[in-house]
């Protein structure tokens, strides 16, 4: 059974710092891995999707990497801003079942 784990559960950093959020998964049979952002009381916004054949994806200050062999993905946020404060969720789509399995998220606070 696929399990997705995100560490740390919460993170507080000063504005301007570069940071890395971690996501690990137990089953390497995934179609893709997707990173989402969730603001309090809101839905999920897709940030980046990495297909199983890819190693990384970039969007602005965000860079996501995928290492299937080690079962790990990271989300790198450069030059963090207070507006980046949110919960970040990763989810792996199983190539066996097609289902999306979520981690429990990392809640990020960027202090001015």
Partner 1 sequence: NAGVTQTPKFQVLKTGQSMTLQCAQDMNHEYMSWYRQDPGMGLRLIHYSVGAGITDQGEVPNGYNVSRSTTEDFPLRLLSAAPSQTSVYFCASSYSQGASQPQHFGDGTRLSIL
Nearer to partner 1, 4 or 110 (CB): 4
- With 0-12 / 13-18 / 19 or more C-beta atoms within 10 angstroms meaning exposed / middle / buried, residue 112 is exposed
Binding-site member from 22, 32, 74, 107 for partner 1 (CB under 8 A): 32
Binding-site member from 24, 25, 84, 93 for partner 1 (CB under 8 A): 93
* Pair 13, 111: CB distance under 8 Å: yes
Binding-site member from 43, 60, 83, 112 for partner 1 (CB under 8 A): 43
Q: Which residues have CB under 8 Å from 105's CB, separation 6+? A: 6, 9, 38, 87, 88, 89
Give residues in contact with partner 1 (CB under 8 A): 31-32, 34, 36, 42-46, 49, 51-53, 89, 91, 93, 98-100, 102-105
């Amino acid at each position: 059974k696929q399990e997705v784990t995100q560490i740390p559960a919460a993170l507080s950093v000063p504005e301007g710092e570069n940071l890395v959020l971690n996501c690990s998964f137990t089953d390497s049979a995934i179609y893709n891995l997707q990173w989402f952002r969730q603001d309090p009381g809101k839905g999920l916004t897709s940030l980046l999707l990495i297909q199983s054949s890819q190693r990384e994806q970039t969007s602005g200050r965000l860079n996501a990497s995928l290492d299937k062999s080690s079962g790990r993905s990271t989300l790198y946020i450069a030059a963090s801003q207070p507006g980046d404060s949110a919960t970040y969720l990763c989810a792996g789509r199983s190539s066996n079942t097609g289902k999306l399995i979520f981690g429990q998220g990392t809640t990020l606070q960027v202090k001015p």
